[in-house]
Structure 1
Amino acid sequence: WKHFIERLPQDYTLNRPIETEELQKAEELLGVSFPDELVSLLKTTDGINDTFGDHLIWPAYRMIEENLDMRSTDCFKPFDCLLFIAGAGNGDLFAYSIFNGSIRKNDIYVWNHIDDSRIWAASSLKPFMKGWIEGTITI
C-alpha cells in the first residue's frame, strides 16, 4: 500500500496502522467483516489524508461515525447494505455493498445524496483511489 500511495499523482499522508482491537471494534459496531483489501490498507495506514486535511479514505473511527449516522437517518432507503469508506466532498459517499450481512465483492459504489442512487464506481479500492484522483471516476 505504501508504494501504491507514494505513486499517486498527489501528496498524501499516512496515519498510524490500525490496532487489531480497533479493527475488530469497527467491524463489530458496523456488523460486517471488512473486505481483505480494506483490512490490509487499514493495517498499513488507518486512513489516507490529503494536503488539505481531508481524507481520500476515512480512518476507521470516521467509518464508524459516518455509517452509524447514515444508518440512523430516515430520509432514504436503509443504509445497512452499504459500508461507507469515503466522501466525495459534495455530500455523495463511496461504499462497499453489503449483501446478506457480508461484503462479497471488492466493488466500490457511489451513493448520491440527492436522489439516493447507488452506482458502481470501481472494481476495487486501488482502481477507485486512482480513478478518483485522476478524474476518471466522476460524480
Structure 2
Amino acid sequence: MWKEAARAAWPDAEFAPPVAPGDLTDAEHRLGCGLPAELTGLLRETDGVVGPYGIDAVWPLERIVEQNLRFRSDHSLAELYMPFDALLFFGDNGGGDQFAFVRTPPRPDVFVWEHEDDSRRWAARDLRDYLRRCLAADGEDWYR
C-alpha cells in the first residue's frame, strides 16, 4: 500500500526491507511514545523512502529514533530553537528543513520545521498526502 502510494507520486522511489515488529516496539520504548499508525504501517513495508536526488522523504527507523532523541536532548539546540517535544520528526528535504507529525495533541497532519527561522508550518494533511506532494515535487521546496 505505502510503496504503491510512493511510486504513484514518483516511480523511481527507493525502498529498504521492512522493519521487524520487535524493532518498532523497541523504537517506541526508546522514544517514550508510540509512533503514528500511518508511519508504523509504512515502516512495516519499508524502512524508509528515498525520493528524487536522494532525499530521505521518510527516514529509516533508527534515524527517526536518533534524530528525535537528539532534538529533545541537545542543549545547544535548546538554546537556539523552541522545544521539539511536541514533534516527531521522520523525514527531511535534504537542505535542513524537516518534516514531523505533531505528538501533542496527536493528529495526522504533517508539519515542516524550517531550520533557518525555527518556523513550524502545516505541509500536508496526512502521510499519504505528504508522500504525494514531496515525491512529485522533484526536489523542490514544495511546502513553501
TM-score when scaled to structure 2?
0.85
Residue 5 in structure 1 maps to residue 6 in structure 2: yes
> Partner residue of 1:34?
35
Give the unaligned 5+ runs of structure 1: none
Aligned residues with identical type, % of pairs? 35
Show CA shifts across 1:82-139 (max 9, x none).
0000011221110001116xxx211000001111111011110011111122338323
Residue 99 in structure 1 maps to residue 99 in structure 2: no
Give the unaligned 5+ runs of structure 2: none
Show CA shifts across 1:57-91 (max 9, x none).
10100101111121122221111110000011221
Pair 122,106 (structure 1): closer, same or farther in 2 beyond 3 Å: same
Please tell me the residue identity of whatever aligns with 2:24.
L
Question: Contact between 1:13 and 1:51, CA under 8 Å: does it hold in 2?
Answer: no
Residues in 2 aligned to 1:6 and 1:133: alpha-carbon distance in whole angstroms = 9
> Partner residue of 1:59?
60
1:12-91, aligned counterparts within 5 Å?
12-50=13-51, 52-71=53-72, 72=74, 73-74=77-78, 75-91=80-96
> Partner residue of 1:121?
123
1:41 is paired with a residue whose SS is helix
Q: Which moved more, 1:10-19 or 1:79-88?
A: 10-19
Residues in 2 aligned to 1:124 and 1:91: alpha-carbon distance in whole angstroms = 21
More helix by share: 2
Please tell me the residue identity of whatever aligns with 1:90.
G
Q: Which moved more, 1:53-62 or 1:118-127?
A: 53-62
1:118 is paired with a residue whose SS is strand
Structure number with greater CO (CA < 8 Å, separation at least 6) is 2
Q: RMSD across aligned C-alpha pairs, in angstroms? A: 1.8
Q: What is the count of residue pairs matched by the alignment?
A: 136
